[in-house]
Structure 1
Amino acid sequence: MKLNIVPARTGLVWVKLGITTFFRQPLAFAGLFFMFMALMSVATLVPFVGSALALTLLPAATLGLMAATLEASKGKFPMPTILISAFRAGRERMRAMLTLGAFYAVGFLAIMGISTLFDGGKFARLYLLGGKITQELVSAPDFQTAMWVSTALYLPLSMLFWHAPALVHWHGVSPMKSLFFSIVACVRNVGAFTVYGLAWLGVFIAAALVVMLVAGVVGSADFAAAAMVPLMLLLASMFFTSMYFTVRDCFVTDETETPGNL
């Protein structure tokens, strides 16, 4: 396995592949994504450690969605059990994935901890525990500072873990090495990932504008409220579908080391 440098325009290809692959099996991907969301939600309900548990399981669940994309790209129907692929690859791989998840949980909670220095924990409590979102809360300068600081700190964390689950599961890379390889791949392919991120942002904004336009034409604000959430969730499912292609194209593997053989 070695790093592959791709041109910036590949970011658009990743977005296109994510959308077209989703529509090969729309019911399967939509169902898997809602199961993914439900799994995270149920994990947060565990007393005292719910948020940390959900964060720990996130890399494994994300790997499951990547595995589903691989199946669909081969013309196969991804079954619900594919979401737990990380826990069916043997004890060693499962332990490595849980270790990776623990690293992610520690990193994310550390970011939330840093954010409390700016607003006394309002943003962290809302993000981790939920609560009522009010205009007064989100417009408060200290809350906005905490939000933007958290966003800035999350970017390098996401780069560390972007490729890591796939590297651990499909290529047997150790958790620490997978983090190093992941951030190097993101940095070396920063042009493609920038285009990828901007393209997805454009897709989400365009979809929201279409909903608002249709709501204006029919003269119903309720339509916008009813349509926006499911539409955003479907687009999020397409986004997760596209993640597999970013990993596939950033690394060149030997024929005996391909995901389908591991």
Structure 2
Amino acid sequence: MKLHLVPALTGITWVKLGVKTFFRQPLALSGLFFMFMAVVSVVSLVPVIGSAISLLLVPAATLGLMAASREAHEGRFPMPTTLITAFRSGPVRAQHTLVLGAMYAGALMLVLGAAALLGGAGGGAEVALNEAEVTPEMVRSTLFSGGLWLAMVVYVPVMMAFWHAPALVHWHGVSPVKSLFFSAAACWANKGAMLVYGLSWVGVFMLMGLVISLLGAMLGGTQAMSIILYPSVLFMASMFHASIYFTFRDSFLADDDEALAPPNPATGDDA
């Protein structure tokens, strides 16, 4: 396994491949993402340990969605069992995935704890929960919260470390600690493509938000928009998760398998 460098514009290709792959199996991919969110929501309701367990499962669920994207891209229907791919490849890799999940939960807790020390990240949320109506003052206090911005800045290296880590553990047999290092190194080496990828998705989400707002206004206002909003968010989130697989596929090459070579960034087709 070796790192592969890609041009910055490959980030746009990843977004296109995610959207294209989603529309090959829209019901399957959105259904799997819904299952993931439902499981996390139910588990998080368990007193005391629920939130920690739900975070523990995030890397495994991320891998499951990546595997589903791979199945759909290769013309196969991703079955519901694809979501537990991490636990179907032997006890060693399943254990490594859970270790990775524990590390992710600990890292995220540290990020939130650091933000809470500044009194910003939790403050805005607490006000929002105690108030029936969200006011411009509440939005401004949240946006200009030192804790919120600290959490966002600190979370960037955490996100880089865990971005490719579940796939490295599962498909390349890398240990959890090494997978974090290789993932962060790959994200940094391809930072141009990752930046374009992130900005492209921001643009897609903003465009979709504008379309939803226009449709809501045309069809009857707030009530119509609320009906459109949930499935739209579900589909968009599913497209985004479908694209994550391609960021991994194009960032690493297997030493003994040239068939894993990434597609031509100009076309997005397999090599």
Fold similarity call, TM over 0.5: yes
Q: 1:113 corresponds to which residue?
A: 113
Q: 2:93 corresponds to which residue?
A: 93
CA contact (8 A) 2:121 2:142 kept: no
Cα distance in 2, alignment partners of residues 29 and 51 from structure 1:
25
CA contact (8 A) 1:113 1:124 kept: no
- Are 1:10 and 2:10 counterparts? yes
SS at match of 2:145: helix
Deviation (angstroms), 1:118: 1.5
- Number of positions where the alignment pairs a residue of Structure 1 with one of Structure 2: 256
Q: 2:264 corresponds to which residue?
A: none
Q: 2:68 corresponds to which residue?
A: 68
Deviation (angstroms), 1:183: 0.4
- Are 1:180 and 2:181 counterparts? yes
The change in CA–CA distance for 1:27 and 1:197 in structure 2 (over 3 A counts) is same
The change in CA–CA distance for 1:41 and 1:141 in structure 2 (over 3 A counts) is closer
The change in CA–CA distance for 1:165 and 1:141 in structure 2 (over 3 A counts) is closer
Deviation (angstroms), 1:156: 0.9
The percent identity for this pair of structures is 52
Question: TM-score, normalising length from structure 2?
Answer: 0.88
Amino acid at match of 2:95: R
Cα distance in 1, alignment partners of residues 231 and 3 from structure 2:
37
Deviation (angstroms), 1:145: 2.2
Q: 2:30 corresponds to which residue?
A: 30
Amino acid at match of 1:195: V
1:94-173 to structure 2, matched below 5 A, reads 94-119=94-119, 122=122, 131=129, 134-135=134-135, 137-140=138-141, 144-173=145-174
CA contact (8 A) 2:121 2:145 kept: no
Deviation (angstroms), 1:120: 6.9
Q: 1:229 corresponds to which residue?
A: 230
The change in CA–CA distance for 1:24 and 1:225 in structure 2 (over 3 A counts) is same
Cα distance in 2, alignment partners of residues 37 and 164 from structure 1:
20
Q: 2:251 corresponds to which residue?
A: 250
Cα distance in 1, alignment partners of residues 47 and 183 from structure 2:
33
**Stretch moving more, 78-87 or 130-139:** 130-139
Q: 2:199 corresponds to which residue?
A: 198
Deviation (angstroms), 1:219: 4.7
SS at match of 2:174: coil
The change in CA–CA distance for 1:258 and 1:106 in structure 2 (over 3 A counts) is farther
Question: TM-score, normalising length from structure 1?
Answer: 0.91
1:213-224 to structure 2, matched below 5 A, reads 213-224=214-225
Cα distance in 2, alignment partners of residues 201 and 110 from structure 1:
26
Amino acid at match of 2:243: S
Structure 1 residues without counterparts, runs of 5 or longer:
none
Amino acid at match of 2:235: L
**Stretch moving more, 219-228 or 115-124:** 115-124
The change in CA–CA distance for 1:209 and 1:94 in structure 2 (over 3 A counts) is same
Provide, for residues 34-82 of structure 1, a one-character-per-residue CA deviation record: whole Å limited to 9, x for no partner: 0010111112112101111111110000000001011111111000011
Deviation (angstroms), 1:144: 2.5
Amino acid at match of 1:193: M
Cα distance in 1, alignment partners of residues 182 and 31 from structure 2:
31
**Shift >6 Å, 4+ stretches:** none
CA contact (8 A) 1:138 1:144 kept: no
Structure 2 residues without counterparts, runs of 5 or longer:
261-271
Provide, for residues 101-132 of structure 1, a one-character-per-residue CA deviation record: whole Å limited to 9, x for no partner: 11100000001101111217725976xxx946
**Stretch moving more, 138-147 or 80-89:** 138-147
Instruction: From the two aligned structures, give the one with the greater helix fraction.
Output: 1
Cα distance in 2, alignment partners of residues 34 and 124 from structure 1:
28
